[in-house]
Amino acid sequence: MAEAPLALDIKALSKRFGKLEAVSDLSLHVSCGEIYAFLGPNGAGKTTTIKSVVGLLQPEAGAITVYGHKVEPDALGFRRSLGYVADRPFLYDKLTAWEYLEFLAGVHKLKGWEEGAGRYLELFKLTPWRHQLIEGFSHGMRQKLVLTGALIHVPKLLLVDEPMVGLDPRSVRDVKDLFGRLAAEGMGLFLSTHSLEMASQVAHRIGILNHGKLVAEGTFAELQDMARRPGSTLEEVFLRLTEEEDGPAAGAAASAGTP
pLDDT 10s digits, 14-66: 999 999 999 999 999 999 999 999 999 999 999 999 999 999 999 999 999 99
Kind plus residue range of the DSSP H or E element containing 196: helix 196-202
Q: pLDDT band for 259, please (50, 70, 90 cuts).
A: very low
What is the average pLDDT value for the chain, to the nearest integer? Answer: 89
Contacts of 40 (CB under 8 A, 6+ apart): 46, 208, 209, 210, 242
pLDDT 10s digits, 211-253: 999 999 999 999 999 988 888 899 999 999 988 555 443 333 3
Listed by start position, the domains of the chain span 1-81+194-259
Q: Are strands 188-192 and 157-161 parallel, antiparallel or unpaired?
A: parallel
- Which is higher by pLDDT, 164 or 206? 206
pLDDT 10s digits, 152-178: 999 999 999 988 877 888 888 999 999
Cα 251 from Cα 105, distance rounded (Å): 50
For domain 1-81+194-259, give the CATH number. 3.40.50.300
The answer, as to whether pTM is greater than 0.75, is yes
Cα 118 from Cα 126, distance rounded (Å): 9
36 and 30 in contact (C-beta within 8 Å)? yes
